[in-house]
Amino acid sequence: DIQMTQSPSTLSASVGDRVTITCRASQTISSWLAWYQQKPGKAPNLLIYKASNLESGVPSRFSGSGSGTEFTLTISSLQPDDFATYYCQQYNSYTYTFGQGTKLEIK
Amino acid sequence: QVQLVQSGTEVKKPGSSVKVSCKASGGTFSNYSINWVRQAPGQGLEWMGEIIPMFGTPNYAQKFQGRVTIIADEFTSIAYMELSSLRSEDTAVYYCARGGRNGAYFDYWGQGTLVTVSS
């Protein structure tokens, strides 16, 4: 299976900050990568698909980039609603795998 | 608007089985994959398997092969996930999620079903 590794595992930031989360794949996955946001007690919410495509209804402060094995999710200016856990997910192979998650905390 | 509504909380004994349902509404059921993803308490997301209702052939994660069964009923727009030989490590919230139009990302999710395995 393709392993997905996110960094950092925890990130402390303030409202208005620009933050970046990295996701690395154990082998190339082209651009077959999605990003999700999850809040406690809720289902994940799709933010980005195919590495850089913003899902409908997702604020434009979220952006994704990368291809091959290295990907990033950037939030341009953190809002209070953005403090949550973020997951990447690859769908290059017929077995889909998630990163371990990055918890974004208020500094 | 697409909605996925799952069945309720389950408490099971070790060694037993659980069957969770996921009813879809507001969209085309047959053409999109329905996936099952679980999340143990305080842990990350783990994909278990998928099915495209119009084809009916499931695709399972190797970890769950032999223990999981995923089916879909096109007439009722309900998908089911059955997990057998339950053990305490299977305690988790189980989500169904719809595959996207252009790939196996998950654009709509059910609300989750808590399955607790305890003697």
Cβ contact (<8 Å) for A97 and B47? yes
Q: What is the pLDDT of residue B27?
A: 85
Q: What is the pLDDT of residue A11?
A: 97
Read off the amino acid at residue A19. Answer: V
DSSP string covering B35-101:
EEEEE-TT---EEEEEE-TTT--EEE-GGGTTTEEEEEETTTTEEEEEE-S--GGG-EEEEEEEEET
Tens digits of per-residue pLDDT, A76-101?
Answer: 999 999 999 999 999 998 899 999 99
Cβ contact (<8 Å) for B106 and A34? yes
What value does the CA radius of gyration of chain B take, rounded to a whole number of Å?
13
Cβ contact (<8 Å) for A43 and B45? no
Out of B44, B100, B110, closest to residue A49 by CB: B100
Closest CA to A87 of A21, A19, A16, A41: A21
E strand or H helix at B107 = strand B103-109
Closest approach of A79 to chain B, Cα-based (Å): 23
Reduced 3-state DSSP string for chain A: CCCEEEECCEEEECCCCCEEEEEEECCCCCCCEEEEEECCCCCCEEEEECCCEECCCCCCCEEEEEECCEEEEEECCCCHHHCCEEEEEECCCCCCEECCCEEEEEC
Which of A10, A92, A95 is the best substitution to test chain B (most B C-beta atoms within 10 A)? Answer: A95
Tens digits of per-residue pLDDT, A19-72?
Answer: 999 999 999 999 999 999 999 999 999 999 999 999 999 999 999 999 999 999
DSSP class of residue B27 equals: S
Please give chain B's pLDDT, 119 residues, in tens.
999 999 999 999 999 999 999 999 998 899 999 999 999 999 999 999 999 999 999 999 999 999 999 999 999 999 999 999 999 999 999 999 999 988 899 999 999 999 999 99
Q: What is the pLDDT of residue B102?
A: 85
Residues near B37 by beta carbon (within 8 Å), at least 6 away in sequence:
B45, B46, B47, B48, B94, B95, B96, B97, B106
Cβ contact (<8 Å) for B105 and A49? yes
